[in-house]
Amino acid sequence: MVSPGELRLVDSLTEDGTEFEPEIAESGAVSYPEAARLLDDADGDPADVLERFAARGVLANEFVSKVYVCPECSAEGMQYTTVCPACEAAHAVERTVVEHVCGYVGTEQEFEADGRSRCPNCEERLQPENVTEADRYVCEECTEVFDTPDHRLWCRDCLYMFPPDETIERVLYRYALTADGERWLDRQRTARETIAESLEERSFETEIDATVDDGTGNPVPVHVLAEDDLMGDRRLVAIHETPSTERIDSFCAFAESVDAHPIVVTTSGTVEEGVAARAETSEVTLLSFREGGTLEADYDVVENVPDQRGFFRRITAAVDVPAWKGQ
């Protein structure tokens, strides 16, 4: 099912040059604020919605960057640091170190203690031919001297450090509408407009992309709200590609709670067995949207909803809203 908010989101990308760009805050948190503004709370994480549409070919995703998520507290935007391989302290810095012929390695300050140029290990006076200098790392916590530090990612929230391969890598993309996505969007919008017009012809006042109070003050988004105040009749419309039993059960329960008859329009012409069984008992009006722009009560039945990645399939389906449904 495509929710009203998701359809609103995809529709916004029809304007030339419009894309959804990730924003990374100073804290490292990632967001898609424009996508979040268009979606409803029930739609979930905007990044998940965008990636779901990208996986199905509606949107194209272009690589932007990567962030790393803390496995301890799930905070985003971990910061790179290096640590001592001996004690794992981050206070390991690159310094010029001196190695004496006796094998002792230390900082220049150690060899210049008390103003004497002597080896602090064997106390032999330093001679140019007996010492070598090199840039190496020195741990300020345990005094370990080493050539290469270990890599860590540091969480700025919980302060834990982890090897990079133990963190959660999150790839960030910018999203734009594809040509297939335009065709998909046109089909969903046209189906929604067609059912609204059909209901208007039956004396209903309709509202597209509406909200309905669930009885507790919470607005629930619906694709189409149709009301006939004179007859005291109310219809709620949901647009689905391939309606699943679970989704339709939930939709029908909500419609019943607000004293409305549910209408489901499938834009693929295919429904699950449980959905078809509901329609046979008149609990829900089930229609298919045809390529010719009409609505029909005919549809194909499958045991389970097919993989949504194959949803760009040939559409079958539809003519008028049957008057006998929901009477």
Which tens digit of pLDDT belongs to each residue from 158-186?
999 999 999 999 999 999 999 999 999 99
Per-residue pLDDT at 287: 94
Per-residue pLDDT at 149: 94
Judge whether 290 and 296 are in contact, CB under 8 Å.
yes
pTM of the model: 0.73
Mean pLDDT, the chain, whole residue set:
87
Per-residue pLDDT at 305: 61
Overall size of the chain counted in residues: 327
Q: What is the pLDDT of residues 51-88, one digit of tens each?
A: 999 999 999 999 999 999 999 999 988 999 999 999 99
Q: How confident is the model at residue 314 (pLDDT cuts 50, 70, 90)?
A: very low
Per-residue pLDDT at 115: 66
Start-end of CATH 3.40.1350.10 domains in the chain: 180-310
Per-residue pLDDT at 204: 96
pLDDT higher than threshold 90 for residue 312: no
Mean pLDDT, to the nearest integer, of 1-20? 92
Residue found under tokens 């998520």: 69
Per-residue pLDDT at 278: 85
Q: What is the pLDDT of residues 182-212, one digit of tens each?
A: 999 999 999 999 999 999 999 999 999 999 9
Q: How confident is the model at residue 276 (pLDDT cuts 50, 70, 90)?
A: confident
- Pairing outcome for strands 270-272 and 261-266: unpaired
Per-residue pLDDT at 136: 85
Short-list 249, 251, 253, 256, CA closest to 238: 251
Per-residue pLDDT at 95: 85
Q: How confident is the model at residue 15 (pLDDT cuts 50, 70, 90)?
A: confident
Please give the span between the terminal C-alpha atoms of the chain, in angstroms, as a whole number.
26
Tell me which of 88-97, 216-225, 255-264 is least confident.
88-97
Tell me which of 110-114, 215-219, 256-260 is least confident.
110-114
pLDDT higher than threshold 80 for residue 34: yes
Mean pLDDT, to the nearest integer, of 308-326? 32
Q: What is the pLDDT of residues 232-247, one digit of tens each?
A: 999 999 999 988 888 8
Per-residue pLDDT at 113: 66
Beta bridge partners of 300: 270
Q: What is the pLDDT of residues 130-145, one digit of tens each?
A: 888 888 898 989 988 8
CATH class of the structural domain 180-310: alpha beta
Per-residue pLDDT at 114: 65
Q: How confident is the model at residue 327 (pLDDT cuts 50, 70, 90)?
A: very low
